[in-house]
């Protein structure tokens, strides 16, 4: 029994050391800018534009080894700034779950790049609008989240 407890302790210590030495992906925040700087160089990268009321822009996404992509928005966002129906991905998803926002699905882990048009109504007040993109990875249902902010400038 003592050998088993020692093995379990060594396994926990090993896993803790691995977790401490490996950066955890996702959870970085970016504020959109005119230069559309990326949020990360990890498995999920997002470039968010800054726009003005009545203006347009493009949200760009790059995901490595993904099987699903889904955008979520802060509950305070009262308008659809992202034109999900006009989203374009390469390669194209194998399926799209038609929810709002939709979920794009690939049948196997795939490196994906995509663009989602941003269209800001004239009547929208300037401010910051919080979103996140979730990338599902494989049958393990591992999920990477990348937060970003669309800035509507005056």
Total domain count for the chain? 1
Is pLDDT at 12 greater than 50 in this prediction?
Answer: no
Q: Is residue 135 part of a domain?
A: yes
pLDDT tens sequence across 94-119:
999 988 889 999 999 999 999 999 99
Whole-angstrom distance between the N-terminal and C-terminal Cα of the chain? 68
Q: Is residue 84 part of a domain?
A: yes
Specify the CATH number for the domain of residue 119: 2.60.40.10
Q: Is residue 69 part of a domain?
A: yes
In whole angstroms, what is the distance from residue 134 CA to residue 72 CA? 8
Q: Is 10 exposed, middle or buried (0-12, 13-18, 19+ CB in 10 A)?
A: exposed
pLDDT tens sequence across 121-152:
999 889 998 899 999 987 776 889 999 999 99
Q: Is residue 12 part of a domain?
A: no
- Domain encompassing residue 56: 25-152
Q: Is residue 117 part of a domain?
A: yes
Positive/negative CA dihedral, 151, 73, 139, 94 = negative
Report pLDDT for 74. Answer: 67
- Residues with Cβ within 8 Å of residue 73, at least 6 apart in sequence: 101, 129, 130, 131, 132
pTM score? 0.72
The b-or-e profile of 24-50 (16+ CB within 10 A means b, else e) is: ebbebebebeeebebbbebbbbbbbbb
Report pLDDT for 66. Answer: 95
């Amino acid at each position: 029994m003592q050998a088993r407890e020692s093995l379990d302790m060594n396994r926990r210590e090993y896993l803790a050391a691995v977790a401490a030495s490996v950066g955890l992906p996702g959870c970085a925040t970016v504020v959109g800018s005119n230069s559309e700087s990326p949020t990360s160089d990890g498995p999920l990268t997002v470039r968010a534009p800054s726009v003005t009321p009545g203006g347009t822009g493009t949200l760009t996404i790059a995901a490595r080894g993904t099987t699903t992509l889904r955008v979520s928005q802060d509950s305070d966002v009262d308008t659809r700034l992202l034109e999900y129906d006009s989203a374009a991905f390469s390669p194209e998803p194998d399926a799209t779950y038609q929810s709002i926002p939709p979920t794009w699905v690939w049948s196997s882990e795939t490196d994906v790049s995509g663009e989602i048009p941003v269209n800001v109504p004239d009547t929208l007040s300037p401010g910051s609008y919080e979103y996140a993109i979730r990338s599902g990875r494989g049958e393990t249902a591992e999920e990477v989240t990348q937060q970003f902010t669309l800035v509507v400038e005056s």
